[in-house]
Structure 1
Amino acid sequence: MSQPLWTMPTGATHQPQLKVYNSLTRSKVPFVPIQPGHISWYACGPTVYDDSHLGHARNYVTTDIIRRILRDYFGFKIRFVMNTTDIDDKIILRARQRHLYDEYKKNHRYIDDQVRQDAQQAWHYYIQKNLKRIASKDLITPETFDGVIEHTYGDVLAGGSLEPGTKPGDKEAKIKMHINTARNAAKALMQDPKLLTPHEFYNRVNDIMCLVLDEQFGSTIRGDDYAVFTKLTKEYEARFFQDMHDLNVIDPDDLVRVTEHGKEIAEFVKKIVDNKMGYRTSDGSVYFDIKAFEAAGYPYARLEPWNRNDKELQADGEGALSQKDATAKRSDADFALWKASKPGEPSWDSEWGPGRPGWHIECSAMASGKLGQQMDIHSGGIDLAFPHHDNELAQSEAFWANHGQWVNYFLHMGHLSIQGSKMSKSLKNFTTIREALHVRKDWTARSLRIVFLLGNWKDGIEITDDMVTEGRNWEDRVDNFFLNAIEAIKNTKSSDERPAGLEDAVQEAAEKVRTALLDSFNTPIAMNTISQLINTYNSAKKSELTAADHRRVGLFVTRLVNIFGLNGSEPADTEQVGWKGIEIPDAAKEFVYPLAKMRDELRQAAIAKSITAEKVQEIVTTSPTSLEEPASSGRPRPSYARALSEFSRAALQATSSPAAMESSPDLNKQILALCDRVRDIDLWQLDIYLEDRENAPALVRPVTEGLKAARREKEDKARQKEEARKQREREAQEKLQKAKLDPREMFKPPHQTEYSAWDDDGVPTTARNGTPLTASRVKKLRKEWEAQRKAHEKYLATLPTPVPNGLDSPSATR
């Protein structure tokens, strides 16, 4: 008999129903690996010149999710190869600029007049180069910058586009970035030099100074001075993998670096030239010949044919340091395989002279070297489809020259966007992974992965409040489920009985999940199925469930979250219900559990209004209250032991007050207040929460983001309610003050000065200039007068009845 679906990932590798969305066909197609049960996979890795941001997390975490599903759910054996790009135009520029700026700072340790003059000139040059609407540098100073920007770029800052009739996008985001860069530098230039440290000054003018220093001195760096470039890339490669570990992303099986494969890349290029699909130019560069490639029967730009003539994308793919002379190429669309190195660029020997690899060729050469002439999967962000992956595909098939298909399935992850623009290092509109996880703590590895799982892997994601809330609610629902399921497994008697209803629900969920994952890894449906199963479990009568029932549902959910990478490195075939983070720290258990037990007993007695001083003393004195942390100097830190001892002490002190000795109801109230305080303040500050339950002990659990959000929402509602109460009071007071006014005086000075004559009731009849008021005007004023009369009479009715003359004297009442 086969295992029921709820007990597995299947472990089977023959998956004829599995379909994946393939960018090559732009459709879902059956997934048939080259070797049954095995998958060869190449993933484009990072360009290591800066910290990775949440947009990168979207790519690598989502890739990790698919990799885990294929490995742990469908049972494939995967060889996963990834590269790090440690030499390209962006790296060369960044490394060169950083090196030159470090040298400048070393030679100018103090911010003297010369440094400020250099920075001022660099600031003007930066504006002239990047903010073209500002006609002349002579018209702008750091002091006038904001005003000039508002005049020249106010429309863009307000959300408009550079070109009327078009939607704003990356170009506008880049202008805003340049404005912010120039503004920060302007503030540094205006600041009193005594109020800024050299570090602060240099940090604020970094971008403007780097631009000028590189243009002046970049060409002086020797081509064989590799340390200038590897110093930067080694640092950021290490930081990248630390970020990936923090996000629970599995390491690649093979990691390849461009700088370690220079010879192989040059040989790869030579074969393409030998196959008549590449050519050398006069400067020593080698380009791919698209026309020759297509003439040989190969299609070009198969992934995004609509972009093949997009000059902006082509230029971006060639890099900022590439040959600008279009006449050197046979066709504008031809792209560099090997770039002749110019002064200030790293170089390696080749038969065409000193040079370096083009951006696209590196992946083709290294992937082919590791996986051969054909692979199952090639993946990366959707922004790499053209020109990078299209060019990779073309040059690789030109190299192998067998009319075969180099990659069978291209998987492109949707990007993450913010305010309509893709997150980008060049646009500086991003939050780094380490900042999000460790500084701002907006995200955890789990919460970020949940958000990605709730969206389709190939679709873009826009960060919104609703998206964050949806992910937080899903995590909180699973948190609560695991806590309750584990508690139920501990406290429910074992039985072999297996009610069909719950087993059917688990089996149905397993079928839905399997159908979803077979459908191109449709994780949104799988995540929703988990939620629905939890809802079914929560609504079941717990008295009818056995420990096996609780364990069955708990294991099903646990194994799925493990497969999705939501539980650290825990294996998919675990026998342990739950995920990390639902238990309080080990150091807290010996103090918090006794505190929770003592509090439960005190609270239940107080709710039953049966509390007495003797009862309090009995409960407290039988609990371990003497566990104290050693006294420390300085400000005391909150501790679990202190929470326990202070709660015990406060409960005992409540029994010694006169009110408690005389009145049991007062003691009940005091004890309940203490129970609330230790739950809502003392333990909460230690990231522990006691969840009170009806007819059951309080559930001891960590404070999660969901609980924090619920508390914030409760506090916001209470604050809004209080503000509404105060507003009602203000309005009532204003109404009262208005009602005090006698209607006969309301249209007369000093209340109003528009009129000069009134009737006996005080309704105006004549304007201030002596002109009689029209009948319609008098009618309207009479209506206002009548409303005031009614309000004034209600006010008078609230006043105390006047006492008759003489009754207020002592003798009058005798």
Structure 2
Amino acid sequence: MASQARVQQPPWQPPPNADGKSIHIYNSLTRSKTLFSPLDPQGRKVTWYVCGPTVYDDAHVGHARNYVSTDVIRRILRDYFQFDVKFVMNITDVDDKIIIRARQHYLFDQLIDPNRRRGTTTVQETSLAAFRAYLSKNLESIPHDVSAKELPSQIEKYYGDVLVGKALQEGKISKDDEDKTKMRIKTAQAAADGLALLEASPDSIEDEAFLGKVKDVIMPYLDSLYGSTFDASDHSIFTKWAKKYEDRFMEDMQSLNVLEPDVVTRVTEYVEKITAFITQIEQRGFAYKTSDNSVFFDIKAFEQGKNSYARLEPWSRNNMDLQADGEGALTKKTSEKKSDADFALWKSSKQGEPSWQSPWGSGRPGWHIECSAMASQELGAQMDIHSGGIDLAFPHHDNELAQSEAYWRDPGRGAEHQWVNYFMHMGHLDVQGAKMSKSLKNFVTIRHELSRGGGLNPRSMRILFMLGGWKERFEVTEGLKKEASAWEDKVNNFFIKVLSLDETKFVNGHESNINPSVQTYLAEAKDKFHSALTDSFNTSLAIQAISELITKYNSLEAGKIPFEQSKTVALWITQMVNMFGLNGTAKVDSETIGWSGIDVPAFAKPYLTLISSIRDRLRQQAQKKGSIDVEDVTDIRQTISDSPLAESAETAPYQKVLDHVLAMVSQLTGSKQSIGSIMGVADRIRDENLWDLGIYLEDRADSPTARIRPVTKELREAKDAQQAKKAKKSLADRSRTTTATPAGRDDKRTISPQELFRNEEYSAWDDDGLPLKDNEGNELTNSKRKKLKKQWDHQKRLHDQWQSQHQQAQNP
């Protein structure tokens, strides 16, 4: 059984806002919640090292789950508990994956560029040879000389059971093996499709469609032929590749509002320190050199020295697959290892790999040693927290622990050295039950997720991960997305509600009396929130405390809540969401209530204020005199010309709506208008023109002016429900209607043709009110539009006739 972590216990001094409650963290070393007691004698400084990315491709949403969860905990320690956190993150910028990926892409670019191509082999010949080599290596049951057209039947014959969810080998269930096989089948099938495309159309040889299909089989094939020809002393191909994806990773983190590390360490910048680190381990008797000039860690010698190995996952120490994965694809297999479990500290150089000089000859660092050397260099012999994804626990972190404790152990003391006090492992993000992984090609990149319509945004992604907690295995389900969205909307609407309160209405009678219920609810929420965060950063319970507070606040009669109390509740919630990083770069101690998204864009406000004021005037005129005349339009035009409007690409949609509103108002002049016609235009401005821009004008019974606010999900759902109800009623009314009566025809004449078809049968109209799309968003056919136009013309004649008769009756 693995030994328990011996966490040093300096006198615990709770933070000023901790109310005497101690923090407990789930510690992978003890596999239990452990009292958090920093190494700092004053208990205020915290040292933290996190395993950063291996930068060979774009980061995916699984990486986002890791780094966003880490960021939330870092913010809690720094901004809520007010620790001084030193946060160090490494960048693995030389690694088997980087070396292979950089070489493969370099060789592929050479192949498709005739001026750089190696030899005389054509792209078509290479594609076919690569396809067969891929089958031979990865789908051994399928004859490697199978044609592209025959591949589907061969896949069904040999791997049909795997595709329907059965085990790859009878009696041996390994989901990773099945998932990898499915991925390889997908890659082979794509290449076959590419070859079929090329056979049908030889001109497609340079098309992106063709190259995209065959690329994943060509690249490893080219690397097997030419990978060893690269100059080991020239690191530029590899460093350029790593730099490209490091920059993209940092951009992704910035887009997710993840705080920058205090210190970033890169392997290529620490090679000298790494070799010195290995040298000391070797001198302590815990490492040995092999004849190929590699250096391995000696696990047996380490354990004989009364040290514990595989303390994080002792059950994995004999897992050969994990051990092999930890050593890397390019590592030379040697029979000189004293034990199969021994791992490389220094890898001798192979042809085609970047290398550095060392006391043992040219080579490069092993994967595990880089973190030990860099973390020790920046944080010393001990650190408070070490974190990373759960997949790193074994062998990476267990090997880190062993080699670091071998390095730092005092030979004269005889006791095992404690290098890390708290190990925190972030849970996997699953996709249909499988870990999201680049190797399985079942990932969605962060930048794709953030850019696609209807996808997660930085705030919703953070809320989602906070609901799932930081250490549990986690799958993004539709149910969880709805829960996160509902919480965000609830907070949104709360902020809008508080910000819309009119301070002048809270006269002395209310303002001087404190509502005891509000005080109680806020105190209870703060206590539950605090307890959740001290309980291993339970963010799910913490945001639940916020939700419950809003529910209780909303249950009270708004007029009986003093304005200052409402502000106090809103400000506390604001500061807590700021602390979680849910409001961009807003500071925790901000005195501004709310978060981004509850207000309209600043650049749009002048336009929206003007449009809203025009609409307010329309409604007032309709109620006062029931008409809009030339003088009214002149006044509106003068108001527009007097208003300072800064035109730009951003304001163009608002300028377009303003022009359209003015055109609609102008059409109302010239004859007596019905109140319904004028109010219909006012409603179109609110329900269509501005709604489509994400803006809602909220009419208020106690004010002649509408409130301008953004469209929220709650508003959209309410409108959808209202439209559905109207559509149902309209359908029922039509089913009861038989033939129109003369009186009915007279009533119908009062309807403006612009309003005739504005019902639930349609979802889009032109400026005259003629339908463009049906209620499902489909474009109307030309014949349907012609039919409706005839009805529109007929209605216009009836309405014009009625208006003329009505005007004559009013002015005999």
What range is the shorter-chain TM-score in? 0.7 to 0.9
Shift of 1:160: 3.1
Match of residue 316 from structure 1: 325
- Distance (whole Å) between structure 1 residues aligned to residue 195 and residue 395 of structure 2: 41
Matching residue's letter, 1:390: D
Match of residue 387 from structure 2: 379
- 1:273-672 equivalence runs, <5 A: 273-325=282-334, 327-402=335-410, 403-440=416-453, 442-488=455-501, 492-493=505-506, 495-600=511-616, 602=618, 612-613=626-627, 621=635, 624-626=639-641, 639-654=653-668, 656=670, 661=673, 664=674, 667-668=675-676, 670-672=677-679
Residues 627 and 678 of structure 2 are in contact (CA less than 8 Å); yes or no, is this contact kept in structure 1? no
- 1:676-687 equivalence runs, <5 A: 676-687=683-694
Q: Does 1:176 find its partner at 2:182? A: yes
Residues 691 and 711 of structure 2 are in contact (CA less than 8 Å); yes or no, is this contact kept in structure 1? yes
- Distance (whole Å) between structure 1 residues aligned to residue 477 and residue 17 of structure 2: 39
- Distance (whole Å) between structure 2 residues aligned to residue 213 and residue 652 of structure 1: 70
Residues 481 and 534 of structure 1 are in contact (CA less than 8 Å); yes or no, is this contact kept in structure 2? yes
CA offsets 1:463-493 (integer angstroms, 9 cap, x no match):
1111111111111111111111111165644
What secondary structure, in the 3-state scheme, does the structure 2 residue paired with 1:25 have? Answer: coil
Shift of 1:694: 5.9
Point out the more displaced range, 671-680 or 211-220: 671-680
Structure 1 pair 536/235, CA: closer, same or farther in 2 (3 Å)? same
Structure 1 pair 278/485, CA: closer, same or farther in 2 (3 Å)? same
Match of residue 791 from structure 1: none
What secondary structure, in the 3-state scheme, does the structure 2 residue paired with 1:256 have? Answer: strand
Match of residue 735 from structure 1: none
Match of residue 738 from structure 1: none
Q: TM-score, normalised by structure 2?
A: 0.81
Larger Rg: 1
Point out the more displaced range, 497-506 or 612-621: 612-621
Match of residue 732 from structure 1: none
- 1:169-208 equivalence runs, <5 A: 169-191=175-197, 192-195=201-204, 197-208=206-217
Structure 1 pair 341/688, CA: closer, same or farther in 2 (3 Å)? same
Residues 450 and 458 of structure 2 are in contact (CA less than 8 Å); yes or no, is this contact kept in structure 1? yes
Structure 1 pair 318/504, CA: closer, same or farther in 2 (3 Å)? same
Match for 1:145 among 151, 164, 179?
A: 151
- Distance (whole Å) between structure 1 residues aligned to residue 730 and residue 206 of structure 2: 45
Match of residue 797 from structure 1: none
Matching residue's letter, 1:464: T
What secondary structure, in the 3-state scheme, does the structure 1 residue paired with 2:49 have? Answer: strand
Gaps of 5+ in 1: 1-8, 730-814
- Distance (whole Å) between structure 2 residues aligned to residue 288 and residue 722 of structure 1: 78
Structure 1 pair 365/472, CA: closer, same or farther in 2 (3 Å)? same
Match of residue 4 from structure 1: none
Residues 633 and 665 of structure 2 are in contact (CA less than 8 Å); yes or no, is this contact kept in structure 1? no
Gaps of 5+ in 2: 1-13, 411-415, 737-812
- Distance (whole Å) between structure 2 residues aligned to residue 620 and residue 511 of structure 1: 60
Q: Does 1:240 find its partner at 2:249? A: yes
Structure 1 pair 723/690, CA: closer, same or farther in 2 (3 Å)? closer
Residues 603 and 671 of structure 1 are in contact (CA less than 8 Å); yes or no, is this contact kept in structure 2? yes
Match of residue 263 from structure 2: 254
Residues 620 and 652 of structure 1 are in contact (CA less than 8 Å); yes or no, is this contact kept in structure 2? no
Residues 638 and 686 of structure 1 are in contact (CA less than 8 Å); yes or no, is this contact kept in structure 2? no
Q: Does 1:51 find its partner at 2:79? A: no
Q: Percent identity?
A: 47
Shift of 1:602: 4.5
Point out the more displaced range, 610-619 or 189-198: 610-619
- Distance (whole Å) between structure 2 residues aligned to residue 496 and residue 620 of structure 1: 49
Shift of 1:514: 0.6
Shift of 1:183: 2.1
Shift of 1:627: 7.5
Shift of 1:209: 1.0
Residues 55 and 423 of structure 1 are in contact (CA less than 8 Å); yes or no, is this contact kept in structure 2? yes
Residues 603 and 651 of structure 2 are in contact (CA less than 8 Å); yes or no, is this contact kept in structure 1? no
Matching residue's letter, 1:334: D
Shift of 1:628: 9.6
Matching residue's letter, 2:193: K
Shift of 1:714: 7.8
Structure 1 pair 70/58, CA: closer, same or farther in 2 (3 Å)? same
Residues 47 and 86 of structure 2 are in contact (CA less than 8 Å); yes or no, is this contact kept in structure 1? yes
- Distance (whole Å) between structure 2 residues aligned to residue 724 and residue 348 of structure 1: 79
What secondary structure, in the 3-state scheme, does the structure 1 residue paired with 2:70 have? Answer: helix
Point out the more displaced range, 349-358 or 642-651: 642-651
Match of residue 223 from structure 1: 232
Point out the more displaced range, 167-176 or 357-366: 167-176
Residues 49 and 233 of structure 1 are in contact (CA less than 8 Å); yes or no, is this contact kept in structure 2? yes
Residues 86 and 262 of structure 2 are in contact (CA less than 8 Å); yes or no, is this contact kept in structure 1? yes
Matching residue's letter, 1:644: L
Residues 628 and 642 of structure 1 are in contact (CA less than 8 Å); yes or no, is this contact kept in structure 2? no
Q: Does 1:210 find its partner at 2:219? A: yes
- Distance (whole Å) between structure 2 residues aligned to residue 152 and residue 197 of structure 1: 33
Q: TM-score, normalised by structure 1?
A: 0.81
Residues 689 and 700 of structure 1 are in contact (CA less than 8 Å); yes or no, is this contact kept in structure 2? yes
Match for 2:123 among 69, 93, 115?
A: 115
CA offsets 1:223-242 (integer angstroms, 9 cap, x no match):
11100110100000000000
Shift of 1:86: 0.5
- Distance (whole Å) between structure 1 residues aligned to residue 685 and residue 697 of structure 2: 9
Point out the more displaced range, 478-487 or 43-52: 478-487
- Distance (whole Å) between structure 2 residues aligned to residue 724 and residue 415 of structure 1: 50
Match of residue 76 from structure 2: 69
Shift of 1:169: 2.4
- Distance (whole Å) between structure 2 residues aligned to residue 434 and residue 386 of structure 1: 29
Shift of 1:172: 2.1
Match for 1:269 among 278, 289, 308?
A: 278
- Distance (whole Å) between structure 1 residues aligned to residue 80 and residue 542 of structure 2: 13
What secondary structure, in the 3-state scheme, does the structure 2 residue paired with 1:211 have? Answer: helix
